[in-house]
Each structure stands twice: as structure tokens, then as C-alpha cells.
């Protein structure tokens, strides 16, 4: 099982997930472990008068991308465990 977990972690490091906010105006790319790998911002939302809105869009997209990575990691861990219940998995991965 430990080798399956190692393989799963390596696989997740290679995967990327993208989430957007503001109707696609801001996109954040994360790896399978939730580390931010890139941010794309549509020039139309770059307005010196609306910096706070842009900051909110970035946070929203980053949070959504990290949630996707966490969900993917949970799925992979359950699969690597052969479908066995993993009590406390959400806590281990930073959940409530």
C-alpha cells in the first residue's frame, strides 16, 4: 500500500487543475497537491480603480483550484487504499 501511495503522490505532482472566477477573467492553475503553478488575468480586469475586485477574483480562483486538487487527492488516496474507509482523511488534507 505504501508503494501505491508513493505512486499516487508522484502522479498528483504531475497533474494540473485550473479554476476560474469572474466568468473566466482570472484563472489559477495548481498541481495535484494544491500548489499554485500559474495565474492568468484577462487585461480587461486590470483597472487601477478596481484593485480590490481583482484581488477577490484571484483569491476565489485560487481557492477553487485548491479545492479541486484536494478533492482529486482524496479520490486518489481512497483508490490507492483499495476502497477501504480512511477515517480522518479530510483532516489530514486540511479539511474540517
Domain range enclosing 17: 2-84
Per-residue pLDDT at 6 exceeds 60? yes
Residue at 70 is within a domain: yes
In the numeric block, the cell 492568468 is attached to 40
Model pTM score: 0.75
Q: Which is higher by pLDDT, 45 or 87?
A: 45
Q: Which is higher by pLDDT, 42 or 12?
A: 42
Whether 74 and 90 have beta carbons less than 8 Å apart is answered as yes
Residue at 92 is within a domain: no
Question: Which 3 state secondary structure label does DSSP give 14?
Answer: helix
Identify any residues that bridge with 29 across adjacent strands, giving them in sequence order.
Answer: 18, 38
Question: Which 3 state secondary structure label does DSSP give 79?
Answer: helix
CATH number of the domain enclosing 35: 3.30.1310.10
Q: Where are the beta strands (DSSP E) in 22-72?
A: 26-31, 36-41
The one-character DSSP state at 44 is G
Amino acid at each position: 500500500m505504501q508503494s501505491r501511495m508513493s505512486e499516487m503522490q508522484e502522479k498528483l505532482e504531475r497533474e494540473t487543475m485550473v479554476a476560474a472566477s469572474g466568468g473566466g477573467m482570472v484563472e489559477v492553475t495548481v498541481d495535484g497537491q494544491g500548489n499554485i503553478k500559474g495565474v492568468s488575468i484577462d487585461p480587461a480586469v486590470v483597472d487601477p480603480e478596481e484593485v480590490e475586485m481583482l484581488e477577490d477574483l484571484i483569491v476565489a480562483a485560487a481557492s477553487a483550484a485548491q479545492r479541486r486538487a484536494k478533492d482529486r487527492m482524496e479520490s486518489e488516496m481512497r483508490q490507492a487504499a483499495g476502497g477501504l474507509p480512511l477515517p480522518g482523511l479530510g483532516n489530514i488534507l486540511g479539511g474540517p
